[in-house]
């Protein structure tokens, strides 16, 4: 029974990783194609559907961690997924005024390259139980550049959206109301920007530690 469940787990995770890999590869291809043919102003509109699907699918990774299907701690996975979902849905999807900025291009390219490598790496491990040394190196090295460019793009787009958030009052809850509760999405966005300040270095340091551990282990093997 145990071996059967282990086989089902591997089959499911392999299918999940390769499905999301295809989504991110589509985002990457469409972003580059649109940049070349139409310019950065049209990138979001070209990648919107696969971007929303691929990024939203990452929610399952939290469930994977909670169920013990993967070893990655939820405490490390949750902040990264939450921030990306916020930018994807809470900024780009919610405020169309941000979609033509050049930071959208740097964002989706940074995200897509990172995720193409990551999902293909884990898809390979689940499918055949191993990955090549160059794949391992890419998995734990490309973030050195792509993480700063991705984070900078995320922060930049949230900042750019602030005046549109304030003017529209979208997602705001004003008093008086039956819940006796108020919420201002503008100040929530500022709070999110503030969280990036300590959160980004902490996550980057964690990833550096993971890189050292993974490459050292591979070298010894």
Secondary structure of residue 173 in the 3-state scheme: strand
Q: Which two structure tokens, joined as six digits, stand for 69? A: 């299907």
Q: Which two structure tokens, joined as six digits, stand for 74? A: 């939820």
In angstroms, the Cα distances linking 217 to 80, 136, 152 are 25, 11, 31
Q: Classify the C-alpha dihedral 216-125-137-145 as positive or negative.
A: negative
Give kind and range of the element (H or E) at residue 116. helix 102-128
pTM: 0.92
- The pLDDT value recorded for residue 128 is 67
Do residues 181 and 215 make contact, with C-beta atoms less than 8 angstroms apart?
A: no
DSSP per-residue string spanning 150-163: HHHHHHHHHHHHHH
Q: Which two structure tokens, joined as six digits, stand for 145? A: 């550049």
In angstroms, the Cα distances linking 66 to 60, 71, 158 are 10, 10, 29
**pLDDT one-digit tens code per residue, 74-116:** 887 888 899 999 999 999 999 999 999 999 999 999 999 999 9
- The answer for 179, left when phi > 0, alpha when psi is -120 to 50, beta otherwise, is alpha
How far apart are the C-alpha atoms of 163 and 101, rounded to whole Å? 15
**Burial of 52 by CB count in 10 Å (0-12 exposed, 13-18 middle, 19+ buried)?**
middle
**Does residue 38 surpass a pLDDT of 80?**
yes
Could you list the active site residues? Answer: 147, 154
**pLDDT one-digit tens code per residue, 112-169:** 999 999 998 888 776 666 677 888 899 889 999 999 999 999 999 999 999 999 999 9
How far apart are the C-alpha atoms of 96 and 206, rounded to whole Å? 34
- The pLDDT value recorded for residue 189 is 97
Cis peptide before 205 (omega within 30 of 0): no
Secondary structure of residue 129 in the 3-state scheme: coil
**Does residue 221 surpass a pLDDT of 70?**
no
């Amino acid at each position: 029974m145990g071996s059967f469940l282990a086989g089902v787990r591997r089959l499911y995770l392999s299918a999940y990783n390769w499905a999301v890999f295809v989504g991110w590869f589509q985002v990457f291809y469409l972003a580059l194609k649109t940049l070349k043919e139409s310019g950065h102003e049209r990138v979001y509109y070209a990648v919107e559907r696969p971007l929303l699907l691929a990024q939203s699918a990452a929610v399952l990774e939290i469930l994977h961690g909670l169920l013990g299907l993967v070893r990655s701690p939820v405490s490390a996975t949750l902040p990264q997924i939450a921030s990306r979902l916020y930018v994807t849905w809470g900024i780009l999807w919610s405020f169309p005024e941000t979609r033509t900025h050049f930071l959208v291009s740097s964002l989706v390219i940074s995200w897509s390259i990172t995720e193409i490598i990551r999902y293909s790496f884990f898809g390979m491990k689940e499918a055949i139980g191993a990955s090549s040394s160059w794949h391992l190196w890419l998995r734990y090295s490309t973030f050195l550049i792509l993480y700063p460019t991705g984070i900078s793009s995320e922060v930049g787009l949230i900042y750019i959206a602030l005046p549109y958030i304030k003017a529209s009052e979208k997602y705001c809850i004003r008093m008086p109301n039956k819940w006796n509760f108020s919420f201002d999405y503008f100040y929530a966005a500022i709070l999110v920007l503030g969280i990036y300040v300590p959160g980004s270095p902490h996550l980057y340091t964690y990833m550096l530690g993971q890189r050292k551990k993974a490459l050292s282990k591979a070298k010894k093997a």
